[in-house]
Amino acid sequence: MNIRKQIAAANWKMNLSLQESKNLASAISQQDIDAGAGHAVLVAVPFPYLIPVQEILRSKSGYHVCAQNLASVNNGAYTGEVSASMLQSMSISYALIGHSERREYYHETNEILAEKINRALENGINPVFCCGEPLSVREEGRQNEYVEKQLTDSLSHLSKDQMKGFIIAYEPIWAIGTGKTASSEQAQDMHLTIRNWITKQYDADIAASVSILYGGSVKSSNAADIFGKPDVDGGLVGGASLIPDEFKAIISSLKKG
Ligand code: PEP
C-alpha cells in the first residue's frame, strides 16, 4: 500500500467541444484503477464542462473532475471569474492552481497563488499546486532555489493539517508542450528537493504524505520510467491526455504497491 496517493492528472487546457469532452471522459473512464491502493485520476477540464464530465466520472471510484483555476476572492464584481465557493456548490473537490500558463499569460504571482490556495482550502477544494522553473533558470543551475521560493511564497503559511496529503505538480516550463521531457533523474532530483523542503517546513510524516506529480511531455512511452522514481507520485499530463489510449496507458503506469 502506498503511503501517499499515486495520481494521473489530465489537463485538457482550452481544448475540445462539449461532445468531444464527453466522449473522451467516457473513453478514459474505461480504464480501471486500484482506488483501494491509493490510485486516483483527476481530469482538469474547462469550467463549462465540469458538470457534464463529473456526471460521467461520478460512478468510477477514484476518478475526479478538477477545475483548471479558481479566483483569488470568493465573490463580487469580478466579471469572468469563477470562485472556489461556486466550485464547492457544484461538488467539485480539486483545482489546479498556479499552472505556468496562468502564471505567464495572466500574471499570477506567488502571492496571488497563496490567496487562491487559501480560497480553495476554505471551500473544501484540494489544490494541485503547480510549480517549475523556466529554461533560463535551469541553464544557470538555479532550479532548486527557484522552485523552493515558489513553495515558500505560496505554501509556507499553511498549517500541518492543511499540508497533510497535499498535491504538488512539478512542471519544468521548458518541458511543457515541447516534447522535451526532464529525464527521470532530473525529475527525481527536484521531487526530492520539494519533499525535503516540506520536511524542513513541517516534518517527515507530512512530507511523506504529499503527492508530488511530474508534468512536462509525459506520454505512454516515458511514464513508467518517470513514475517509477521513489519521489514521483504520478503525473500531470497535457497533450497526451487528449488521446484516450495514451492517457489510459499513462494511468496504468502508476506505481503499484
Ligand atoms: C501541462 O500542461 O500541465 C503539461 C504538462 O502539458 P504537456 O504534457 O503537453 O507537456
Instruction: Check pocket membership of 217 for ligand 1, CB cut-off 6 A.
Output: yes
Tell me the per-residue pLDDT of 163-178, one tens digit each, with 9 for 90 and over. Answer: 999 999 999 999 998 9
Task: Specify whether the CB–CB gap between 256 and 37 falls below 8 A.
Answer: yes
Give the pLDDT of residue 132: 98
Identify the H or E element spanning 97. Answer: strand 94-97
Q: Nine-digit cell at 114?
A: 497563496
Judged against a pLDDT cut of 70, whether residue 1 lies above it is answered with no
Give the pLDDT of residue 188: 98
- Going from the Cα of 77 to the center of ligand 1, the distance in angstroms, rounded, reads 32
Give the pLDDT of residue 35: 81
Give the pLDDT of residue 219: 97
Give the pLDDT of residue 34: 86
Stretch 232-244: mean pLDDT: 98
* Percent of all residues in the chain with a pLDDT value above 70, rounded to a whole number: 99
Stretch 49-57: mean pLDDT: 98
In the chain, where are the structural domains located? 6-252
Instruction: Check pocket membership of 236 for ligand 1, CB cut-off 6 A.
Output: yes
Give the pLDDT of residue 2: 64
Give the pLDDT of residue 180: 85
Instruction: Check pocket membership of 53 for ligand 1, CB cut-off 6 A.
Output: no
What atom of ligand 1 comes closest to residue 235's alpha carbon? 5
Stretch 82-106: mean pLDDT: 98
- 3-class SS letters over 45-80: CCHHHHHHHHHHHCCCCCEEEEECCCCCCCCCCCCC
Q: Nine-digit cell at 31?
A: 480504464
Task: Specify whether the CB–CB gap between 108 and 51 falls below 8 A.
Answer: no
Architecture of domain 6-252: Alpha-Beta Barrel (3.20)
Give the pLDDT of residue 179: 87
**pLDDT band per the 50, 70, 90 thresholds, residue 207:** very high
Stretch 145-169: mean pLDDT: 98
- Going from the Cα of 40 to the center of ligand 1, the distance in angstroms, rounded, reads 18
Q: Nine-digit cell at 4?
A: 501517499
Residues 6+ apart with CB under 8 A from 38: 1, 2, 4, 5, 6
Identify the H or E element spanning 211. Answer: strand 211-215
Stretch 21-35: mean pLDDT: 95
Query: Mean pLDDT in the chain?
Result: 96
Tell me the per-residue pLDDT of 218-235, one tens digit each, with 9 for 90 and over. Answer: 999 999 999 999 999 999
- Going from the Cα of 126 to the center of ligand 1, the distance in angstroms, rounded, reads 20
Query: 129: which strand partners?
Result: 97, 168
Q: Nine-digit cell at 169?
A: 505538480
Judged against a pLDDT cut of 70, whether residue 83 lies above it is answered with yes
